[in-house]
């Protein structure tokens, strides 16, 4: 496990180069980074607005620049970007997060159109709902977490991974560019 600051182009490039030197060509890479923050525009500092974008969008750009051309040269590979409901809708008090996630989705769309003809599969996945992780348990509290789990309201990480893997396994003649994932109990 290596800690890499994905806001730094050089770090990302070096990380990808070292991974490929050690383990061979990356076949599938997933960009999950994104930090949800909740403030009205008036209460959002420039620092928060900027950092939110750097975490979700600039890091995705570095990720794309480091991996996309390598995969395009090899004529294969899958890049998956994780989005959220905020990727397609600017709700009240989410301008920083929605702006960053909208930008990430725009990147995924541009990439899909640029790299698809080179054999690189680019997909964007909207995760809509809480995930069954210690992080979410901590945020919502034990009681709410157990109640959510009891009614099947938590996305199982293994099921998410299965959906991502299914995208990677799609043959070139049958690619998906965008999916949504949510628990059966989630309002949408």
Output the smallest distance, CB 142 to its own copies, in A. 19
Comparison of 22 and 100: residue with beta carbon closer to its own copies: 100
Comparison of 22 and 188: residue with beta carbon closer to its own copies: 188
Q: CA angle, corner 181, sides to 56 and 98, nearest 5?
A: 30
Distance, in Å, from the CA atom of 49 to the CA atom of 36, rounded to the nearest integer, reads: 11
Comparison of 1 and 152: residue with beta carbon closer to its own copies: 152
Output the smallest distance, CB 17 to its own copies, in A. 16
Nearest to 124 by CA among 136, 106, 140, 150: 106
Output the smallest distance, CB 18 to its own copies, in A. 20
Output the smallest distance, CB 26 to its own copies, in A. 16
Q: DSSP letter string over 67-134? A: HHHHHHHHT-EEEEEEEEGGGT---TTBHHHHHHHHHHHHHHHHHHHHHGGGTEEEEEEEE-S-BSSH
User: In the β-sheet with 28-31, what is the strand arrangement from edge to edge?
Assistant: 28-31, 77-84, 120-127
Comparison of 138 and 162: residue with beta carbon closer to its own copies: 162
Task: Say if residue 186 is exposed, middle or buried (CB neighbours under 10 Å; 0-12, 13-18, 19+).
Answer: middle
Comparison of 27 and 50: residue with beta carbon closer to its own copies: 50
Distance, in Å, from the CA atom of 15 to the CA atom of 21, rounded to the nearest integer, reads: 10
Output the smallest distance, CB 169 to its own copies, in A. 8
């Amino acid at each position: 496990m290596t800690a890499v600051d994905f806001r730094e182009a050089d770090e990302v490039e070096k990380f990808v180069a070292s991974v490929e030197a050690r383990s061979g060509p990356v076949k599938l890479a997933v960009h999950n980074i994104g930090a949800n923050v909740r403030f009205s525009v008036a209460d959002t500092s420039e620092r928060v607005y900027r950092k939110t974008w750097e975490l979700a969008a600039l890091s995705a750009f570095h990720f794309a620049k480091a991996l996309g051309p390598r995969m395009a040269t090899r004529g294969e590979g899958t890049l998956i970007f994780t989005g959220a409901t905020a990727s397609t809708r600017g709700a009240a008090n989410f301008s920083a997060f929605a702006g960053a996630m909208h930008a990430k989705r725009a990147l995924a769309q541009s990439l899909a159109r640029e790299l698809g003809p080179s054999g690189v599969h680019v997909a964007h996945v909207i995760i809509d709902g809480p995930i069954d992780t210690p992080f979410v348990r901590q945020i919502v509290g034990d009681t709410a977490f157990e109640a959510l789990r009891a009614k099947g309201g938590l996305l199982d990480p293994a099921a998410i991974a299965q959906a991502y893997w299914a995208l990677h396994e799609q043959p070139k003649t049958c690619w998906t560019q965008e999916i949504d994932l949510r628990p059966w109990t989630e309002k949408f």
